[in-house]
Structure 1
Amino acid sequence: MRVLPPLPLSALPLLALAPLVLVGCGVPWTEPAGAFVAADAATIPVLGRSIGDTVVSGVSGRDCSVVRLDQGLSYCRPPEPPPDVPTFCTRSLGVVDCWRNPEAFGGPPLRGVADGPTRLTPEQEAHRTRRWPGI
């Protein structure tokens, strides 16, 4: 018995369009199946995932897609790690000096070069860790 090699994932859209050839044969299920296959093929370039991927993503709350498999990645996107704490930088004579631990100075509080927050707000953290598609 001859064993065929596995098809690459890039051949899946062509394989999915194969039932469209049967639409002209008059079999009752071919028209709805052909419409579903066409809709499924259209959602991949528009949404970046198939209809089945959208269902899996909605149920699991993670971002899942066959497009990720075709890129050699995992089916579902892993959770995003929290951002690194930025280094603390101050102005010196003509240069900028940066430290990981500004509390080590022990003197009066130093003013950093960068103005603004150094951590995410609770709202930003909730947005970063929300379930897909934002529910």
Structure 2
Amino acid sequence: MKYNQMTNNYFFRFYKCGLSVEKTAELCFKTVRQVKNWDKGTEIPPECKRLMRMYCERKIGLGDSWKGFSIVKNRLRLPTGRELEPQQILTAVALLEIESDTDKRTLTKLLRVSREISKIKNKS
């Protein structure tokens, strides 16, 4: 599509959400023809816009402890910017469940340091 032919809908779908016509149609339960009509300027239904926004970046609003976390294209984005796949999270949990003695000592130190950082952060 040429720049002068781009509509806000096309820009939103393709550049902001990174969705192809086929993926958009699949995500919104619409036909490819309907999605192409959106690209030409037909209004996108609000529920489809919401689904596309959720697909491209879903904020996790479960309280302050989840601040900065989001789900981006089926990956968990950490506040540091790193994105984790479900398999990486399951592997990490499995390693934590093994609980070797060195892991326990390391975890204790990490918790102590994180609590101190939290105290410092809350003071400022």
**Alignment TM-score, normalising by the size of structure 2:** 0.28
Identify, as 1 or 2, the structure richer in helix.
Answer: 2
Q: Relative contact order (C-alpha < 8 Å, sep 6+): which is higher?
A: 1
TM-score, normalising length: structure 1: 0.26
